[in-house]
Amino acid sequence: MASQSMTEEDALRTLHKLNPPNTPLWLEELKKRYCQQTLDNTINFLERIGLKVEDLDGLNIIHVAGTKGKGSTCAFTEQILRSHGFRTGFFSSPHLVSLRERIRINGQPIGEELFTQHFWQIYRRLEETKDAHGGLMPLQFAFLTVLAFQVFLEQKVDVVVLEVGLGGGYDCTNIVRKPWVCGISSLGLDHIYVLGDTVESIAWHKGSIFKPGVPAFTLKQSEGAMAVLKDRAIEIGCPLWVCPDLEDYQVDGDPLELGLAGEHQRFNASLALQLSHTWLLKMKSLKDGRCTSTSVENGRLLKGPAFKLSPVMVKGLADVEWTGRAQILKHGAVTYFLDGAHNMLSIQVCVDWFKAVSAQHESGASGGVVKVLMLYTTEERDAAALMKPLVQCDFDFAVFCPNLVESCHADQETFDEKISRSLDNEKSWRRYTGLEENLSPGAEKRRDALVFPSILSALQWIAQGRDSVVADPAFPVSPAEPSITAKAAPLRDAAEIHVLVTGSLHLVGGVLKVFQLPPKKWNI
């Protein structure tokens, strides 16, 4: 039996063991677990810890699905409602630095004590009851979903902003019966091994979070995706509105400012405005003692109202923070552009953003700018396809490494797999850029692609002594291989270095974690 005195580190190790072994068949295992009785199992776990699905009705939930932008939409929505003075709960995934980021109260990750208290309480109850349920234990995401619900109920939050983990219809979060409003962000191809390889199939899964009589909002989608969402809404009995453009809203004073960078965030902000506005109207009607009901207009997509924004809403949009998405951190001559884009839709948006903001950050100093791509992609991603748009950025160096802060902290099997993935990515990059055939030997800037054993070693090489970065024990401060040192000459001579970190939120999270490492911290 687990002891409640055990630490957060103990809890994280135990949580990691709940996932299937890291084998070539893990995607098949995930698909099987996802598609077979996922919701029934999650309800089973909830009941085994002493809760019922009906208990979740009191959480006043805003439920959001989508391929890209659902996390940003949730962040906008949560900030707007918190700015109105409501006590908010926010469940999202994945995390960047600390797993506790996934469960937030009033914008802050839950504390270590609260997390460990609930973790061991839930884990102990599930362990004690598993024999009576055929040995059934949750995977990591299901466990965290149940934990989040228990925390939000105990903390008596006014509203829960609930981000779907994967898909929608069979996602663990979809055990909620009566959300107050649902949202669908931009749709595209992602998780095709589980959701299907067409946007229509993916739209079916996302639209399956709709509930009878519960208002739902979507951004403008492709024709095929919109048709599926419309059909799902009619089938379920859910009124569905399409969000207006952000420019259509009425605002007093200066133009809207968004706390998140990138043109695509204007669409996410509009969806968040519709979700928060609808939630606020329902809250007001309940306080006034009125009943709110919405009828479905058969077969017709409705256009969301472009209402006048209150000063509180305007402030919420400006104050929002969402780490690791279109984030810029500068230290000395090195500027880091962090974006966890990991599918085709988000990578193209990332490319457009980086090209624009990188140009804005050039100082014009003599010595020029050296641009570096730092990339990792997880096993289920088509890394070669993701790299194609990135070639447009004309990088001087491409650096590939596992999404591990320090190589010495990884088990050998995991490390070998991630290094192999990084080596494959390097080969693909060389093919796309002509490095493999040495097609550009006369280029002004020396271009190359390199593989490093960890995030620390890669950042150490990029910084070239310009920053105080903690060294990876597996990679000396002064690289022993002369060729690696020689290749860094353009970095040492450059007036500025622009580093785009992308391909994986886990990679971005690892970079952010490096900035926090003692005793030598990155001064940002």
The DSSP-derived string for 321-362 is --TTSSEEEEETTEEEEE----SHHHHHHHHHHHHHHHHHT-
Please check whether residues 364 and 402 belong to one and the same domain. Answer: yes
Q: What is the pLDDT of residue 28?
A: 55
How confident is the prediction for the chain on average, in pLDDT?
83
**Alpha-carbon distance values, 470 to 237, 254, 357, 410, 507 (Å):** 56, 44, 28, 17, 17
Task: Calculate the CA 136 to chain-centre distance.
Answer: 28
Please check whether residues 315 and 331 belong to one and the same domain. Answer: no
Please check whether residues 231 and 374 belong to one and the same domain. Answer: no
**Alpha-carbon distance values, 85 to 48, 88, 316, 421 (Å):** 34, 9, 11, 46
Helix (H, G, I), strand (E, B), or coil: what is residue 17?
coil
Per-residue confidence at 441, pLDDT binned at 50, 70, 90?
very low
The H or E element spanning position 373 is: strand 369-375
Task: Tell me the per-residue pLDDT of 199-217, one tens digit each, with 9 for 90 and over.
Answer: 888 999 899 999 999 999 9
In a domain, 123, yes or no: no
Higher pLDDT, 471 or 206: 206
What CA–CA distance (Å, rounded) separates 160 from 351?
33
Domain boundary among 266, 288, 319: 319
Higher pLDDT, 16 or 424: 424
Higher pLDDT, 483 or 451: 451
- CATH number at 99 reads 3.40.1190.10
Per-residue confidence at 440, pLDDT binned at 50, 70, 90?
very low
Crossing angle of the two packed helices 8-16 and 112-129, in degrees rounded to 10: 40
In a domain, 511, yes or no: yes
Q: What is the pLDDT of residue 198?
A: 86
Percent of the chain whose predicted confidence (pLDDT) is above 70:
81
Of 220-224, 338-342, 499-503, the one with minimum mean pLDDT is 338-342
- CATH number at 370 reads 3.90.190.20
Asked whether residue 503 carries a pLDDT value surpassing 70, the answer given is yes
Asked whether residue 294 carries a pLDDT value surpassing 70, the answer given is no
Per-residue confidence at 517, pLDDT binned at 50, 70, 90?
low
Q: What is the mean pLDDT of residues 367-382?
A: 83
Q: What is the mean pLDDT of residues 492-519?
A: 84
What CA–CA distance (Å, rounded) separates 202 from 189?
7
Please check whether residues 89 and 160 belong to one and the same domain. Answer: yes
Domain boundary among 270, 300, 319: 319
In a domain, 213, yes or no: yes
Q: Are 104 and 79 in contact (CB under 8 A)?
A: no
Ranked by mean pLDDT, the top range of 325-334, 412-421, 424-433, 505-514 is: 505-514
Please check whether residues 403 and 343 belong to one and the same domain. Answer: yes
Per-residue confidence at 76, pLDDT binned at 50, 70, 90?
very high
Domain boundary among 319, 344, 372: 319
Q: Are 127 and 1 in contact (CB under 8 A)?
A: yes
Please check whether residues 315 and 333 belong to one and the same domain. Answer: no
Q: Which amino acid would we find at residue 418?
A: K
In a domain, 521, yes or no: no
Domain count across the chain: 2
Please check whether residues 419 and 501 belong to one and the same domain. Answer: yes
Please check whether residues 375 and 417 belong to one and the same domain. Answer: yes
What ranges make up the beta strands (E) of 127-234?
159-163, 181-184, 216-218
How many CB atoms are closer than 10 A to CB 268?
A: 32
Q: What is the mean pLDDT of residues 8-12?
A: 83
Q: What is the pLDDT of residue 131?
A: 94
DSSP-derived secondary structure for 127-151: HHHSGGGTT----HHHHHHHHHHHH
Give the residue numbers spanning the domain of 379: 327-516
Task: Tell me the per-residue pLDDT of 108-157, one tens digit each, with 9 for 90 and over.
Answer: 999 999 999 999 999 999 999 999 999 999 988 899 999 999 999 999 99
Please check whether residues 503 and 434 belong to one and the same domain. Answer: yes
In a domain, 468, yes or no: yes
Q: Are 208 and 310 in contact (CB under 8 A)?
A: no
Asked whether residue 18 carries a pLDDT value surpassing 50, the answer given is yes
148, burial (CB in 10 Å: exposed 0-12, middle 13-18, buried 19+) = buried
In a domain, 376, yes or no: yes
Helix (H, G, I), strand (E, B), or coil: what is residue 88?
strand
The CA-to-CA distance between both ends of the chain, in Å, stands at: 44
Task: Tell me the per-residue pLDDT of 237-283, one tens digit each, with 9 for 90 and over.
Answer: 999 999 999 999 998 877 889 998 888 899 999 999 999 999 999 99
In a domain, 36, yes or no: no
In a domain, 118, yes or no: no
Q: What is the pLDDT of residue 301?
A: 67
What CA–CA distance (Å, rounded) separates 314 from 83?
10
Higher pLDDT, 373 or 194: 373
Q: What angle do CA 418, 170, 35 make, to 5 degrees?
A: 65
**Alpha-carbon distance values, 255 to 258, 276, 317, 322 (Å):** 10, 20, 12, 21
Please check whether residues 226 and 366 belong to one and the same domain. Answer: no
Instruction: Enumerate residues 6+ apart whose C-beta is below 8 A from 27.
Output: 193, 379, 380
Q: What is the pLDDT of residue 479?
A: 42
Asked whether residue 475 carries a pLDDT value surpassing 70, the answer given is no
Q: What is the pLDDT of residue 306?
A: 86
Of 98-102, 445-449, 487-491, the one with minimum mean pLDDT is 445-449
Please check whether residues 434 and 499 belong to one and the same domain. Answer: yes
> Which one, of 496, 474, 494, lies nearest residue 419 by Cα?
474
**Alpha-carbon distance values, 323 to 11, 63, 143 (Å):** 24, 21, 24
Q: What is the pLDDT of residue 345?
A: 77
Q: What is the mean pLDDT of residues 296-310?
A: 72
Please check whether residues 308 and 419 belong to one and the same domain. Answer: no
